[in-house]
């Protein structure tokens, strides 16, 4: 038996990186997966991989900043599987630069993906989970919600804001067994970072699979227990006093 047998799980940003790693880990523990992001081709690759572990996986291309597409994602999931047990809000965008040079377009793009997306997905999950008697939402944050990185004001701001959204959902959901928590990764060796020569991408790294083991642990807890925030990072990564 797996730790997540039969748990219907929506994962956003599931085509690459952390989302794909969490999908792989959840599949190995028996979860039923609904994979969402804008890129169908990458989602299909993830679906093919997790099906190799015996998991049921559905691909639903979704732009998490589009309200109609998010509503459709949850409606289709419930229509096919009858419920939503777990939501992993993982879709994210990173952009930045010197603060005085930031454009409004850059600012709004990062806020839309990193805050509006989790709001829309969390709202739809809350509606379903309250009716069915409970569920779990895990928002993927960043250690930038605790210690800011220079030249990343939009990203830093959204990850701080996601802490507030997480606590708000947890507060409003607790009387209904709707549990909300936040997973804060440090440096993760995603495909993008593996291909990068930027100085910050040469820092100590952990693998997506190592991070995903923590997501499994959080998701497998009974609904009367919550890890409100978990900070996971390479042991040698600069964190306290970073920047």
Q: Show which residues are catalytic.
A: 155
**Is the alpha carbon torsion for 65, 66, 71, 77 positive or negative?**
negative
Let me know: does 206 contact 186? Beta carbons within 8 Å.
yes
What gap in Å lies between CA 205 and CA 79, rounded to an integer? 40
Strand partners for 57: 33
Neighbours of 195 (CB within 10 A): 8
In DSSP terms, 10 is beta-bridged to 34, 87
Structure-derived torsion over alpha carbons of residues 41, 47, 49, 53, reported in degrees to the nearest 10 = 180
Indicate if the alpha-carbon torsion angle 50, 34, 115, 66 is positive or negative.
positive
């Amino acid at each position: 038996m797996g730790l997540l047998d039969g748990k219907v799980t929506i994962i956003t940003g599931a085509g690459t990186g952390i989302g794909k790693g969490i999908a792989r880990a959840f599949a190995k523990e028996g979860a039923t997966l609904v994979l969402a992001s804008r890129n169908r081709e990458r989602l299909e690759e993830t679906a093919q991989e997790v099906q190799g572990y015996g998991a049921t996986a559905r691909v639903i291309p979704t732009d998490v900043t589009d309200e109609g597409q998010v509503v459709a994602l949850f409606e289709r999931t419930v229509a096919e599987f009858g419920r939503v047990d777990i939501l992993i809000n993982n879709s994210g965008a990173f952009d930045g630069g010197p603060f005085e040079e930031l454009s409004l377009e850059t600012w709004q793009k990062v806020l839309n993906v990193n805050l509006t997306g989790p709001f829309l997905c969390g709202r739809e999950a809350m509606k379903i989970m309250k009716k069915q008697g409970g569920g779990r939402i895990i928002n993927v944050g960043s250690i930038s919600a605790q210690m800011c990185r220079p030249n990343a004001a939009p990203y830093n701001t959204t990850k701080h804001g996601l802490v507030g959204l997480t606590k708000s959902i947890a507060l409003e959901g607790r009387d209904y067994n709707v549990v909300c928590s936040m997973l804060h990764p440090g440096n993760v060796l995603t495909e993008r970072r593996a291909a990068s020569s930027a100085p910050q991408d040469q820092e100590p790294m952990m693998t997506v699979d190592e991070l995903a083991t923590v997501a499994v642990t959080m998701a497998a807890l009974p609904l009367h227990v919550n890890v409100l925030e978990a900070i996971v990072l390479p042991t040698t990564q600069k964190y306290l006093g970073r920047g």
